[in-house]
Amino acid sequence: MEFHFSRSGISLFFLNHHYVHIHLLYMKSSAAPTLPCMCANIRRAARVLTQRYDEALRPLGLTITQFTILQALSIAGDITQGRLGEILAMDSTTLTRTLSVMKRQRWIAKIYGTDRRERRLRLTRVGRSEFNRAVPYWQKSQEMLRVQLGKERWHGLTKLMNDITTLVAEQGGFDGATI
């Protein structure tokens, strides 16, 4: 592997018989460098957005993950944990851990479905109150971001993220094809 650096902050390296070009910006720049991996760029954006929304909800002692679950339950009504995980594209372990905290806070309840083996999640009165209390904080963060991005980019980005989620969910996991 070889590296080449220049004043522009560009590096080039040889990996598996292919040249990979990465543009690295100086730390003083406010723009984040474009990484060659789509997943890395989306995850980085998700982390900074999570930090922004968590900061907005911090005065209430709520995280954006908890808010999102409250919001999903307020929209979907009684729902199984599996279905909630599908809607939010959340893995079972993370969802179970978050739901456990929310159940202790009495924001959600588990109820039996028509089949006693089926357990459904429901937003409690305390949970609905917590959700309603958090909405203005969330809306303020939403509106700030909407203004920063502009209406067209906001809608385009929202559609793109939904398209990616649908595409990947329908396609399934890595099919084992060789590269």
The answer to whether position 110 is within a domain reads yes
Mean predicted lDDT score pLDDT of the chain:
84
Q: What is the pLDDT of residues 111-144, one digit of tens each?
A: 987 777 888 999 999 999 999 999 999 999 999 9
Strand 4-5 versus strand 108-112 pairing type: unpaired
The answer to whether position 179 is within a domain reads no
Rg of the chain (C-alpha set): 21
| Three-state secondary-structure class, residue 12 | strand
The answer to whether position 177 is within a domain reads no
| CATH number of residue 69's parent domain | 1.10.10.10
**Do residues 2 and 48 both lie within one domain?**
no
The answer to whether position 60 is within a domain reads yes
The answer to whether position 178 is within a domain reads no
Residue-number span of the structural domain to which 27 is assigned: 1-36
pTM: 0.77
Would you call 142 exposed, middle or buried from its count of C-beta atoms within 10 A (0-12, 13-18, 19+)? middle
